[in-house]
Amino acid sequence: MFDKLTQFFLALVLLLFTLFSNLYAQSESDAYRTETFQTGTSPEVNINTSGGFVRVHGGSESEVHVIMYVRRGNRWLSPSDTDLADFDIEISHDGNLVTVYSRRDQSGIGRLFRSDRNISVSFVVHLPENSTVSASTSGGSVTAENLNNGMELRTSGGSISAENVKGGGGITLNNVNGNIQARTSGGSVSASGISGTAELRTSGGSIRIDNASGRISARTSGGSIRARFITFNHDLDLSTSGGSIRVELPLADHFSLDLSGNRVQTELRNFTGTSERNRIRGDVGNGGPTLRAHTSGGGVQVTYI
């Protein structure tokens, strides 16, 4: 009896997983529109949509292939389902510039009663790995992978993931609220106005963080870290083996410090713990969220704003 019950639940879980996967997965056969442009090996590609996701994939081709998806609720739409008359859509090629753009027309009082209010437009773009990419959305996630050049990624309503960015490629993140994973093996990472949970990684460059809040982890093996936080309510973890760390924090009464480097400098008030030239570990006030800043190749400096 127990074995049959177990088999039943396993079968049910597998069925639900299959249904869920089919519900949200998409293939090119679901596309609303596709375009392919012959370009050089390093085009500039700008992608912007206000209601869907953006996925960018680098490759060895010398062309940009754009796949546009339109969805209402859980259903992928085709041109026979809707004509997108109330959307401004541009997928164009001008020399070395490719523009991919979708925006819903917000003019007129009739927008409140339109049937397309729950339609989202998303883009999957395959492009040369040496492309310069700017990708943004206000209503979904942004992912980028296998790129060697610079990129700027933005979203105000989802997550950001950048993987396998190598060579001299840097990552720039602006005004992101969500879950962030940004990794590059050969460039710097610059993040401004981020909040939520972020993991920033580079093995060959520096990390710069400005006006950040949330739970942030930043690691580099080949550069310095400069970070300015406007809130300090969650743990912060910064480490480098090849440079210095400088941190600006909002002044607080209760938090914890775990700092180590060739030389550690900060002001300590109402502190309980260990304070040495190259190591500070303990609590300010009653303790609280922890700033961890470790470097084996430079100093650590913490100041308060």
Q: For the residues of 153-195, what is the DSSP string, one character each?
A: EEESSS-EEEEEE-TT--EEEES-EEEEEEEESSS-EEEES-E
Please report the pLDDT score of residue 13 as a whole number: 43
Check residue 242 and give its pLDDT: 83
How much is the pLDDT for 114? 53
β-partners of residue 216 are: 198, 236
pLDDT for position 90: 97
Confidence at residue 51, expressed as pLDDT on a 0 to 100 scale = 81
Q: What is the pLDDT of residue 239?
A: 97
CB-CB contact of 191 with 182 (8 Å): yes
> In the chain, what are the domain boundaries?
29-141, 159-305
Rounded Cα distance, 147 and 134, in Å: 12
Alpha-carbon gap, residue 179 to 158, rounded angstroms: 7
Q: Identify the CA nearest to 137 among candidates 48, 46, 68, 55.
A: 48
Q: 182 and 197 in contact (C-beta within 8 Å)? A: no
In terms of Cα–Cα distance, which of 1, 77, 65 is closest to 39? 65
Q: Number of helices (H) and strands (E) in the chain: give both, helices first.
A: 1, 27
Cα distances from 41 to residues 38, 131, 153, 168, 291, in angstroms, run 10, 7, 21, 15, 43
- CA–CA distance, 141 with 303 (Å, rounded to integer): 34
Token pair, residue 208, equals: 């710069």
CA neighbor of 283 nearest in space, from 294, 270, 298: 270
The pLDDT assigned to 160 comes to 84
- Over the chain (305 residues), the average pLDDT of each successive run of 10 is 53 44 63 96 94 93 96 91 90 96 70 64 96 89 86 79 72 82 82 90 90 95 94 97 95 96 96 97 97 95 96
Question: Cα–chain-centroid distance for residue 144?
Answer: 9
Distance CA 182, CA 78 (A): 33
pTM: 0.72
Smallest Cα–Cα separation from 216: which of 204, 228, 202, 203?
A: 228
State residue 183's pLDDT score: 82
pLDDT of residue 26: 65
